[in-house]
Structure 1
Amino acid sequence: MVYKFRVILDTEEDIFRDIAISEDDSLEDLHNAIVNAFGFDGMEAASFYKCDDQWTQLEEEISLFDMGENPGEDTTMNSTTIGYILDEENTKIIYVYDFLNMWTFFVELGAIEEEEPGVSYPEVLFSHGILPDSMPGKSFTANPVSNEDIYGEFDDDFDEEDFDMFDDGEISEDYGYEDNWN
């Protein structure tokens, strides 16, 4: 059987790829298909996460590499087939590539079909949107309701006088630090 997925980048713009892959392929094969479909170099760590129907991430992580304290204890992509983790009832997983930039994708199973003779899988069926140069960041500086700095409420909590103990090297004398402590 062939599983057909829509892989959607978590951005405001519509950026997605439709990928067909054999149910017997591993999650590592799906990872490689996603990396190639979006044009990544494949040099970063990645993980799949189980989730519910509302895309709420569950605790189980399936990583590219075994990073557990005891080798063989963690579930890895190469040891997990697509058909084992996804089926007609469980159709969604979350994929994160490059944990520094947190490229996050929603991967949804759209169809399960018979393999077409002569077609090699995985295969990119459709491509929409251009991947941005960098993952759009989340802004935590403004309150969406008042459009004010979210840290502004703390600005008036301290006055200059509160920090007088740090003037003129008093702290090094009070706490016994030597002049060249590092």
Structure 2
Amino acid sequence: MIYRFRIILDAHDDVFRDIEIEATATLEDFHNAITQAFGFGGQEMASFYTSNELWEQEEEIALFDMSEETESVRVMQETLLEDVVSEIERNLIYVYDFLNMWTFLVELAEIAEPEIGRIYPNLMFAHGEIPEEAPETEFIAEGMDDVDFDEDFDIDSEDYNDLDFDENWN
């Protein structure tokens, strides 16, 4: 089976790529196809996150396991696309370069039969130019979007004398 994805840069302008890839490809193969399609060098850290229909970030699938915990993180090289994406679970979030936070919404558009003679992954369509810098993405913790820290926690940002830490700690 072939998965056809639309990968959309989370930005104000429309920038997206349509890629088709084998369902049995690894997420690392998909990562490489995405970086090439958007013109990135591919040498930065990246992760996929499973996501629901509301684009809420769920489980991380990292390029490398950098955790120091006994429970390791799933890695792209060992994870097949067909194990995380289906007709029901269609969405992934892809983050490339954690310093700049290039964030992409990845949606399964179609499942098809492979075409004889076609080489996969295949860039089907490209729209828009990638900006010079990663667009700013606003991250809001669930339930915290209406919190005014100064007012709700009675903190005056100009008065640090009452805080319990040494301001010259390093």
TM-score, structure 1 length as denominator? 0.75
Contact 1:66 1:72 in 2 (8 A): no
Contact 1:32-1:42 within 8 A present in 2 as well: yes
Q: Which residue of 2 aligns with 1:134?
A: 133
Q: Secondary structure of 2:123's partner?
A: strand
Residue 108 of structure 1 deviates from its aligned partner by 0.1
Q: Which runs of 5+ in 2 are unaligned?
A: 139-147, 162-169
Aligned counterparts, 1:73-152, within 5 A = 73-137=72-136
Moved over 3 A (4+): 156-159
2-side partners of 1:133 and 1:17: how far apart?
17
Q: Which amino acid aligns with 1:127?
A: A
RMSD: 2.8
What one-letter code is carried by the residue in structure 2 that aligns with 1:79?
Answer: E
Q: 1:85 to 1:138 in 2, by over 3 A?
A: closer
- Counterpart residue type for residue 38 of structure 1: F
CA shift, 1:157, in A, is 7.3
Distance in 1 between residues matched to 2:157 and 2:73, nearest whole Å: 47
Change (3 A) 1:138 1:63: closer
The equivalences for 1:149-160 within 5 A come to none
Match of 1:30 in 2: 30
1:66 CA displacement: 1.3
- 3-state SS of paired residue (2:119): coil
Structure with higher Rg: it is 1
- The residue aligned with 1:177 is none
Counterpart for residue 13 of structure 2:
13
Identity %: 49
Letter in 1 for 2:114: E
Q: Distance in 2 between matches of 1:44 and 1:23?
A: 24
Q: Equivalents in 1 of 2:104, 2:137: separation in Å?
A: 15
CA–CA distance in 1 between the matches of 2:158 and 2:39? Answer: 49
Aligned length: 152
1:115-160, Cα deviation, whole Å (9 max, x unpaired): 0000010000000000011112358xxxxxxxxxx99x9xx9759x
